[in-house]
Structure 1
């Protein structure tokens, strides 16, 4: 059944390790999960199908509908945009409303991102707000405001690159001009961000 959905042996193994009950469930229950995943806009055969099955395993249609409404309200998304988000990042259905609200407030109100921009890059919602999004935002904002970085830099790129690459491209080149940058960034990653960085 799972192979017919386009899942390979590795995908099935990962799904079964995370959810052993899947192996003992009757086929009707698995078929219902597959249909449910397709209903939320994740077709069989796509690379996110395994993640969709994982996301909706314990969610009723009513709970999913409620989460969709919350996403629309919180991020000011249209039905189509929520569809894009769920198809690209099914795990968003498992995120708490409080967490989604706090990320929406920061990304839209503080970072100034357009709702559509976030909808087409929903993976950014998987990153820690305190441990990744805020610290990197503060660094990039400082670099742009002080002429060290062009304003056309893609926001999502600064979030999705690894910590090693971020340090190499955004921190290390400015050690002399901004001697406290690395220290303040490290503090921000620990959740110790002051009201404003000591970028002097």
Structure 2
């Protein structure tokens, strides 16, 4: 065990200051593990060890112990816990890791975990980034393939920061089939004319796309182009996300529903979908309600909405309706020019909206902020009841 400790500290904590900061938690962890050691290896109580040493709750330990029934002593788990402590993971992080992947406690430190850390360090990852990767990768970290996969992923995503962000969004990237799934999908994007930067942006925002079956992925690209969003478009990732869960027939049906609900021509529905592909994912009920509000209540023309389809992606109760009330109130009170458009008030952030439409009128309309807050809660203040 002493030789193991020295190896871990040598790999992870090259500087003397870093070593000093990590020895304490490492020692505490090993000391905490000591009471669980049984003089009779055949009587090693796995569930008690998981609770007393690893910090799992009793239900978590009962579930996890079923996968560790072959353990006869705490030797391997002690080594893994010491290794994780040396990485800088907190007790809570370790408990969560073990609960999700109990077999991590059976991983070989010298044969697998330590070489993986050495390999990742060689790729330029810092100790803190490796600790985050351990947390995000779950059972993938006890596989020797993790280093070779990151050799491919790092240049693809452009930086370790982007890579870890993508793994957080989709941890299955690490367990996916690199040669049979990920690389063919990336190669197809290159064939479609996307450059390295465009692919990196797409992968960072929608990392789950990389692990889709290549045939299905190629169909999705074709669907996206069929709804008017070419590969190089800024909306391409949104279009792929929109069509990911639908068949070609379902997409056509959703386009028809949009056309009928908003009284759009073929050209107008094409414009709307190409500018905001995610409207395809909205439920029929939500689209119907937005149509009734924007066309019947606000009085917007269908063609106007088609050219500004982002309005359909905003919350009706939390943004579209409350801001309409404010703009309407200000115009009817003579506090806002009648040529000021509603769309401009809808698209700005909440902070900017309050700054431009609420704060300047606190003297002339002292209750406006209160009424706006009430409207955002789904109620209609008396002062917003227009005839």
TM (norm. structure 2) is: 0.48
Partner of 2:297: 110
Partner of 1:59: 246
Does residue 182 of structure 1 match 2:369?
yes
Does residue 131 of structure 1 match 2:318?
yes
Instruction: Tell which has more relative contact order, 1 or 2 (C-alpha 8 A, sep 6+).
Output: 1
Partner of 1:69: 256
Distance 1:195 1:98, change over 3 A: farther
Partner of 2:345: 158
Does residue 11 of structure 1 match 2:202?
yes
Distance 1:198 1:73, change over 3 A: closer
- Once the two structures are superposed, what CA deviation does each residue of 1:116-159 show, in whole Å capped at 9, x if it has no partner? 11000000111100001111000100111111111111211100
Give the Å deviation of 1:14. Answer: 2.2
Give the Å deviation of 1:192. Answer: 2.2
Instruction: Number of aligned residue pairs: give it.
Output: 195
Unmatched 5+ stretches in structure 1: none
Mapped contact 1:2–1:12 kept (Cα < 8 A)? no
- Once the two structures are superposed, what CA deviation does each residue of 1:40-75 show, in whole Å capped at 9, x if it has no partner? 111111111111111001211211121111111111
Mapped contact 2:220–2:243 kept (Cα < 8 A)? yes
Query: Which whole-Å CA distance do the structure 2 matches of 1:198 and 1:34 have between them?
Result: 47
Distance 1:195 1:180, change over 3 A: closer
Q: Which runs of 4+ in 1 moved over 6 A?
A: none
Query: Which whole-Å CA distance do the structure 2 matches of 1:24 and 1:134 have between them?
Result: 39
Query: Which whole-Å CA distance do the structure 2 matches of 1:191 and 1:99 have between them?
Result: 16
Mapped contact 2:203–2:210 kept (Cα < 8 A)? no
Does residue 93 of structure 1 match 2:280?
yes
Query: Which whole-Å CA distance do the structure 1 matches of 2:288 and 2:341 have between them?
Result: 23
Query: Which whole-Å CA distance do the structure 2 matches of 1:97 and 1:141 have between them?
Result: 28
Q: Which moved more, 1:143-152 or 1:22-31?
A: 22-31
Mapped contact 1:184–1:198 kept (Cα < 8 A)? no
1:169 to 337, 356, 379: 356
Query: Which whole-Å CA distance do the structure 2 matches of 1:38 and 1:56 have between them?
Result: 11
Give the Å deviation of 1:39. Answer: 1.1
For the residue of structure 2 that corresponds to 1:8, the secondary structure is helix
Distance 1:165 1:30, change over 3 A: same
Give the Å deviation of 1:198. Answer: 8.2
CA RMSD of aligned residues (A): 1.7
Query: Which whole-Å CA distance do the structure 2 matches of 1:169 and 1:133 have between them?
Result: 16
For the residue of structure 1 that corresponds to 2:334, the secondary structure is coil
TM (norm. structure 1) is: 0.92
Give the Å deviation of 1:4. Answer: 3.9
Partner of 1:41: 228
Distance 1:100 1:195, change over 3 A: farther
